[in-house]
Amino acid sequence: MANAPKRTKTSSFLVKIPCPKCSKTAEHSASRVHKSKNLICPFCSTLFIPSEAKVQNA
């Protein structure tokens, strides 16, 4: 227990976001979403910013 790695608040937290182009929902890292980093749709390979899509909590 003493050597267990420290876990951050959003270390494994995923957020479901629909792609603005194909509308399919995929899970992305919450830290990337909250920092407004570019995301890539795993279905159609479109790059987009989370503010372009509606965010849904997992």
Per-10-residue mean pLDDT of the chain, 58 residues long, equals 56 86 94 93 96 72
pTM, 2 dp: 0.68
9-38 burial string, b = 16+ CB within 10 Å, else e?
eeeeeebebbbeeeeeebebbbeebeeeee
pLDDT of residue 19: 95
